[in-house]
Amino acid sequence: MASFFLGFFGHALHRHQIRRWERLGVRAARMSLADLRPLRQRALQLRQVLDRVLHIADSRLTLPLIGSSTFPKPLHSDWAWRPQLWSGPITPIGMAAAPTKARFGDEVTLFHDCKISELTVRQVRNRREADLAPYGLKMDVFNFDGSFLSLVVELPPEAVRGLKRNHLVRMTSVVETEAPLEIFARLNVRHGPNTEQMVRELPLEGGEIMVEFDLAYTKLNEKRVEAAWVDLIFEGPKMNQVILRDVTFSRRPRADL
């Protein structure tokens, strides 16, 4: 019974508030500036609260579900991972005039050498039927006076635990670009004082993109592997928009021949 009255009076109060703001909206055209300023301030405060509620509600109600780790994995994979930026909400969700070494979540860092940053980076909610990742990363690049732009994704300790030269490391991504763009992925594996590097160009032909790194072609010291990370390098990004709808990683041992 209590929930009935709370729901009934809650709806009545809500309708009353809507009618009140509708009346204020009509009166605003004739209101004096002295009265209009405080009204505008109250409306802005109300909008901030409503925007926060809508952001949380949209995140929870929109598919794919937040925290989803669902994505196709190669047969016999012994490790697979989707970074936090593409699986759950981060703080802050975006940044205008993003400086170099700006971090987005716990694993992704932006690097560039622009004198004046005209980069806007923002986490966006994926809503397309084909999307498996809950979130994506949108990067708007206007004037670009630097020589490089990259996103560094730090792989977790599980990625290098037991890593061998017979492993294949796969990166799968879904990328949208406003204009043609070259994107390279560079896998870095630190072992002792040395770092092995392998570079692959992403074939931007639409849909899901996959590149693999075969560690058999490296001089990896399996007993001293310490850390790994992937650089996503964007060549000539000026006046372009890039949306990384999803980025996932996996590894599997190569079949014995």
Q: Give the pLDDT of residue 91.
A: 81
Q: Give the pLDDT of residue 46.
A: 86
> Model pTM?
0.73
In this structure, the chain runs to a length of 257
Instruction: Report the chain (257 residues): mean pLDDT per 10 consecutive residues.
Output: 58 82 86 87 86 71 60 87 92 90 93 93 88 92 93 97 95 94 96 96 86 95 96 94 96 80
Q: Give the pLDDT of residue 60.
A: 65
Domains and CATH numbers, the chain: 2-61 (no CATH), 79-253 (2.60.120.260)
Instruction: Give the DSSP letter string of the chain.
Output: -HHHHHHHHHHHHHHHHHHHHHHHHHHTTTS-HHHHHHHHHHHHHHHHHHHHHHHHHHHHHSSSPTT-------TT-SEEE--HHHHS--SS-EESSPPTTEEETTTEEEEE--SS--EEEEEEE--STT--SSEEEEEEE-S--SS-EEEEEEPPHHHHTT--TTEEEEEEEEEEESS--EEEEEEEEEETTEEEEEEEE---SSSEEEEEEEGGGS---GGGEEEEEEEEEEES-TTEEEEEEEEEEEEEEPPP-
Q: Give the pLDDT of residue 11.
A: 77
Backbone angles phi, psi at 2, to 5 degrees: -65, -40
Q: Give the pLDDT of residue 230.
A: 98
